[in-house]
Amino acid sequence: MALEGDVLDTLEALGYNGPLLEEDALLKAVEMGPSSSEFTELCVWLSSQIKLLCNLEECINSTTSADDTESFLLEINGFLKEMLCPFSSLLTGDFKERLRKKEDCLKLLLYLSSELQTARILHSKSPPVPKTEGNEEVRQEIRSICATLSVPCPVSGAADAHLFKILEEKVKNITSKVPEKHMGEPLLKLTLTSDHWEKLMAINDALTNEYEVRRRMLIKRLDVTIQSFGWSDKAKIQPFTGISGPV
């Protein structure tokens, strides 16, 4: 009763209002496992929100017939691997033979619901990212980093704590294999806090704005200088502007 009770409590806290909120219905569904459409739909309900909040690549689709069971188990396997699931019973052995036990199905639901709770909490505490043109440049850099390190990149190109954790582990793994003293000492040895990052962003915005003003001013000066060559002789304006082109 303890495991199914934990699952029911967590689902209720998450706002789930589907048919498996009743204990008898839940027990019947987990006994059937992937053969139960209600069980697979609950897995989809949980995983789809986790995917959105954590920017995951893998996804899970609900089943419509017994023929879909194998593909469902394969998708579950990929999703749990991407999430670095710690439960070996859900990841080891032939994937076709998994989720045959009621306990494993309950364990899967409890794991997914707990991860969704965590993802919601972390997302609520994360500062909102303003939608600016600069974000596209950041997303492109993230895609380049993921491609270089052979790490799956979120479809949106956005980064979060989960992605940075994977990137950090990948970099540590690579740097551990390089010869001693191959890499120099880092210029910055301190760990920046969120307050530090906010101040750096403010400084970066100020410098970017100043650079933009200076750039426009220089372009305007150059444009005026080019036009001045034609002031003394109107006949030369057309040929000269044709060569220089608009600035």
pLDDT digits (tens, 9 = 90+) for 181-231: 777 777 888 888 888 888 998 999 899 989 988 988 888 888 878 777 766
Orientation angle between helical segments 102-125 and 2-14, nearest 10 degrees? 30
Using one digit for the tens of pLDDT, what is the confidence trace for 68-98?
A: 888 899 899 999 999 988 888 898 888 788 8
Which of 41-45, 178-182, 234-238 tops mean pLDDT?
Answer: 41-45
Q: How far is CA 64 from CA 20, 41, 68, 80, 159, in A?
A: 17, 10, 7, 22, 34
Predicted TM-score of the model (pTM): 0.52
Reported confidence tier of residue 157, pLDDT bands at 50, 70, 90? low
